[in-house]
């Protein structure tokens, strides 16, 4: 997949002037959502200032959508920017990943675990 422009409308659970929200096709936890820019931007750093502002409120709305169905105890918010950071679809998307007590033996360090051995401090 090169971008998210061919997402079926019936998959979209929320849309505003800058972003739309879908359930992740390969969720890492129940309720995992993607927030995707309406206009193809490569990554977070290509968003306009307006889009960056709207992103914050869109994350809050996506959190509310998750909490209508699930009861997570925490969240990871993630954006991969660049191939070296693991980005495979070069159309801005933000992962909102609900976290649940006990979903990992030791969640300390959270996203710091993206580099082996760096999550523990």
Catalytic residue among 32, 50, 91, 93: 93
pLDDT tens track for 30-79:
999 999 999 999 999 999 999 999 999 999 999 999 999 999 999 999 99
pTM of the predicted model as reported, rounded to 2 decimal places: 0.93
Within 13 Å, how many C-alpha atoms sit on residue 43's CB side? 14
What pLDDT does residue 28 have? 94
DSSP for 69-118?
A: H---SEEEEE---SGGGT--S-S-EEEEEEE-TTSSS--TTGGGGGSTT-
More confident residue, 119 or 66: 66
Domain ranges of the chain: 9-114
Reported as a pLDDT band with limits 50, 70 and 90, residue 4 is very high
Cα end-to-end distance, the chain, whole Å: 36
Q: Please give the average per-residue pLDDT across 82-101, as a whole number.
A: 96
Least confident of 19-28, 99-108, 110-119: 110-119
Q: Is 95 a catalytic residue?
A: no
What pLDDT does residue 1 have? 59
The per-residue pLDDT of the chain, averaged, comes to 94
Which among 107, 117, 119, 91 has a CA at the least distance from the CA of 35? 91
Q: Please give the average per-residue pLDDT across 9-17, as a whole number.
A: 97
Bridge pairing between strands 33-37 and 74-78:
unpaired
- What is 9-114's CATH number? 3.30.428.10
């Amino acid at each position: 997949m090169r971008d998210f422009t061919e997402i079926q409308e019936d998959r979209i659970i929320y849309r505003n002037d800058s972003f739309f929200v879908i359930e992740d096709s390969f969720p890492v936890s129940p309720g995992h959502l993607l927030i995707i820019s309406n206009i193809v931007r490569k990554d977070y750093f290509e968003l306009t200032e307006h889009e960056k502002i709207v992103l914050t409120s869109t994350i809050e709305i996506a959190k509310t959508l998750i909490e209508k169905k699930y009861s997570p105890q925490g969240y990871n918010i993630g954006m991969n920017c660049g191939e070296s950071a693991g980005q495979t679809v070069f159309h801005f998307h933000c992962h909102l990943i609900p976290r649940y007590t006990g979903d990992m033996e030791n969640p300390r360090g959270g996203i710091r675990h993206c580099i082996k051995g760096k999550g523990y401090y």
